[in-house]
Amino acid sequence: MRLLNRSAGRLSRHRRGPLAGLVVLLLGLLLTGGLYAAFSPAQADQTGSSADQVAQGRRLFLVSCSFCHGQNGEGVRSQDGDHQLGPSLIGVGAAAVDFQVGTGRMPMTQPGAQVPDKPNVFSDQEVAALAAYVATLGPGPAIPTKSDYSLEGMSETQKQDAIARGGQIFLTNCTACHNFEGSGGAMPRGGYAPKIRGVDPKHIYEALLTGPQNMPNFTNGNLTPDEKRDVIAYLGSLNEMKEYGGFGLGGLGPVSEGLAAWLVGIGLCLAFAVWIAAHTTRSTKKKVDA
């Protein structure tokens, strides 16, 4: 008798709408995706490069960077093959991109001896996307986290020691190019080591790590992350320090001091000398002998 009633004990087929299957499919997707997003493990790269980000980065790369760096970041050589026009970006890592694009150095608008920093053309999110894309080209240094270059969490004595040691490391490795105050210095053929005061600590870390343009590398086997942190702390202390003696005259040393001595010193003294010996006002009145 159950065999003769096919709808007995079963749900009525009129209870499912025509789109029910689609709805279930969508629900299933949402559920799976949400569970995945909630429970997937954290990435080693803090920027959390998702495929979307990488894809966005690739699109930006093709438009802004591939002309010099090649469609796959392999670099571009000159026609005769003798010269590298744009270097290969395979293995430079997200840190290099974050530095170069974040400081506006890239895209390079003018060939020359030096790639100066300039206003950034990309938003932070776009920079992150580019960095994520280039990181996929080959393994390279990652963008540092705040804990890499900050002294937070250290005691006062530890901070002081770190700054003092950072000063010694700075004077040994950095001042030869960047000058005792970080005001910059000349390099051959029109290049220069730029001013490093007032620069974001993250960018300083990345510059040390990746050796942008003509700067040598200071990879973690050369200057350990702690040593880099100390150098950044010392630079920060320079930024916070009062100018004890007055106007710094550009922090360039004896050349600007000599200029000031001549212009201000001799100039003022000369001005006074001219005043002292100048003819004074005369009157047409005559003296009356009383």
Site for other proteins in 206-265 (CB under 8 A): 211, 213-219, 221-222, 227, 234, 237-238, 241-249, 252-262, 264-265
Handedness of CA 191, 197, 202, 205 (dihedral sign): positive
For other proteins, which is the closer residue by CB, 12 or 280?
280
* 280 makes contact with other proteins (CB under 8 A): yes
For other proteins, which is the closer residue by CB, 10 or 83?
83
Could you report how far apart the first and last alpha carbons of the chain are, in Å? 156
User: What is the nearest approach in angstroms of other proteins to the Cβ of residue 107?
Assistant: 19
For other proteins, which is the closer residue by CB, 67 or 272?
272
Residues sharing a CB contact under 8 Å with residue 143, sequence separation 6 or more, in sequence order: 45, 46, 47, 94, 95, 98, 131, 202, 206
Cβ atoms within 10 Å of 207's Cβ, excluding its own: 22
Residues 79/80/82/83 CA torsion (nearest 10 deg) = -20
User: What is the nearest approach in angstroms of other proteins to the Cβ of residue 40?
Assistant: 32
62 to 91: interface string for other proteins, x by CB under 8 A: ------------------------------
For other proteins, which is the closer residue by CB, 72 or 173?
173
169 to 208: interface string for other proteins, x by CB under 8 A: x-xxx-xxxxxxx-xxxxxxxxxxx---------------
* 289 makes contact with other proteins (CB under 8 A): yes
Q: Kindly determine how many residues on this chain lie close enough to bind other proteins according to the rule CB under 8 A.
A: 88
For other proteins, which is the closer residue by CB, 52 or 226?
226
Backbone angles phi, psi at 61, to 5 degrees: -60, -45
- DSSP letters, 139-201, are --PPPPPHHHH--TT--HHHHHHHHHHHHHHHHHHTHHHH-TTS--EE-GGG-EEPP-TT--H
User: What is the nearest approach in angstroms of other proteins to the Cβ of residue 277?
Assistant: 4
Q: At residue 244, what is the residue type?
A: Y
